[in-house]
Structure 1
Amino acid sequence: MGREVQRIRLLLVEASEILRDGLAHLLQSESNLDIVSVSDTPSQAVKAARAHKPDVVLTDIECSKGSAIELILRIRKVVPDTRIIVFTNSRRIDDFFSAMSIQVAGYISKENSVESLIKMIALAAEGKLVIDPPMAAIATGGLKALDGHRREARLNGVSTLSKQEKAILNLMADGATNQEIANALVITENKVKIHVQNIMHKLHARHRLEATVCAIEERLQRSIDGSGPERM
């Protein structure tokens, strides 16, 4: 007998009843997904996360009866290892950066097919950062509109990073903490902190988020150009 495939435990948070029920029905039919709970409010979602400890949470950036950013932070306190994907129709660059600043596992459009959505849920469950082409284009456009000189300096700085610094920056973009980076690269957390400071200096980044955004933009540009893999 073959080994049983581990199913991904998914918590779906969606205010629209029609979309919530329809999506739950479509996703539940997939053999690798297990919809552990469906919620329409932040309070319900936090209770469900505590009770079911999902592998992945799929939520809109626009929640009824509360802030999605606050919801994500509350879920993180309950189940720190859960991967959280923002699934939205929002085209606001501020929403994208707000989500990226709290290190979500993905930011994807509701325009995706069910097949694409399932693939991205699986990638997020594996620890990868998922941003689909529509959201990548919006993010790249927004980034280009930001401080042009600083942005160019940051992107040029990527080429000056050492192999280990690039590895650390990629892990930062995946949402890893300093301790998680240390564990992944088998170095001390203090060594990671030193590398992060060096990375920020080379990228002319004023804080960790700016350095992380630089890594995300580099990935997005590679994806759009077809010039290279997701990671640097």
Structure 2
Amino acid sequence: MSENPETRGAVANDPIRVLIVDDHALFRRGLEMVLAGEDGIEVIGEGSDGLEAIEMAGDLLPDIVLMDIRMPRRSGIEACTAIKDAVPSAKIVMLTISDEEEDLFEAIKAGATGYLLKEISIDEVPQAVRAVHGGQSLISPSMASKLITEFASLAKRSEERQQQVPAPKLTEREMEVLRLVARGLGNREIAKELFISENTVKNHVRNILEKLQLHSRMEAVVYAVREKLLEIT
């Protein structure tokens, strides 16, 4: 008998539903074998590329997606963005060999809840699955230090700009958009919240970045908090 997706999760003892996506079959098999032996965890599917990840996530509605970054057809970053749009409740953990800062930042911006390097013991994966499902965000220590360094750099650059020129004045609508960006909302969600088109949101974000002379949404939020243009509670 098929399970009704609308009632899934209603029972406290329901297993954590995991989708594994990696273009290396042996690695997928190793993860599946480890997770299959764990109480309270169920592997509901395996995919070999980003496009399969998107299609399977939409069909299977996983709780957790364990996914590589470098994959054929669609990258893990592209798949992450699409999955978060289609299945907002899914929590995505990047499990990858890439220790590139850009991949880490892009994964976070795309909505990933975790970023773990494949150097971790495969036996640690079940614990990571449970932690993310329980609401934690996980980043490998070596990558977390890079993230902290980047935020410190952004804050320093904001402080230098503050000393050079007064903060540019944003319109009330731009402030509304910036507050929603700070809450982690994407353009589509902001559009729904403010009852405007997604294209209008993109224009507002572009104007905000131009006025603040910044290059990314992350920089805009850090700058705005630094300038006390908004507070994140």
Among the aligned pairs, what percent are the same residue? 28
Aligned to 1:198: none
- CA distances 1:35-74 after superposition (whole Å, capped 9, x unpaired): 0001002222222112210001111111122222211122
Q: 1:85 to 1:152 in 2, by over 3 A?
A: farther
Matched, 1:99 2:107: yes
Identify the residue that residue 209 of structure 1 maps to in structure 2: 218
Q: Which has the larger radius of gyration?
A: 2
Instruction: Name the counterpart of 2:18.
Output: 10
**Does the C-alpha gap of structure 1 residues 67 and 13 become closer, same or farther in structure 2, counting only changes over 3 Å?**
same
Q: 2:32 corresponds to which residue?
A: 24
Q: State the number of aligned residues.
A: 184
Q: Establish whether residue 81 from structure 1 lines up as the match of residue 89 from structure 2.
A: yes
Q: Is the 8 A contact 2:18 2:43 kept in 1?
A: yes
| One-letter amino acid matched to 1:134 | S
CA distance in 2 between partners of 1:36 and 1:60 (Å) = 17
1:135, CA displacement in angstroms? Answer: 1.9
Match for 2:55 among 35, 39, 47?
Answer: 47
Q: Which residue number corresponds to residue 68 of structure 2?
A: 60
Q: Alpha-carbon deviation of 1:143?
A: 5.0
Structure 2 unmatched ranges of 5 or more: 1-10, 163-178, 195-211, 224-232
Determine the structure 2 residue equivalent to 1:108: 116
Greater displacement, 73-82 / 95-104? 73-82
Q: Structure 2: which amino acid aligns with 1:20?
A: R
Verify: 1:135 aligned to 2:178, yes or no: no
Q: Are residues 34 and 59 of structure 1, via their aligned partners in 2, closer, same or farther at CA, if it must alter by over 3 Å? A: same
- Give the stretch that moved more between structures: 204-213 or 13-22: 204-213
TM-score by length of 1: 0.63
Describe the SS at the equivalent of 2:105.
Answer: helix
Q: Against the structure 1 CA distance between its residues 96 and 151, is the aligned structure 2 distance closer, same or farther, given a 3 Å change threshold? A: farther
Measured on the aligned residues, the alpha-carbon RMSD in Å equals 3.9
CA distance in 1, matches of 2:221, 2:134: 20
CA shift in 2, pair 1:84/1:119, >3 Å: same
Which amino acid in 1 is paired with 2:30?
G
2:41 maps to what in 1? 33
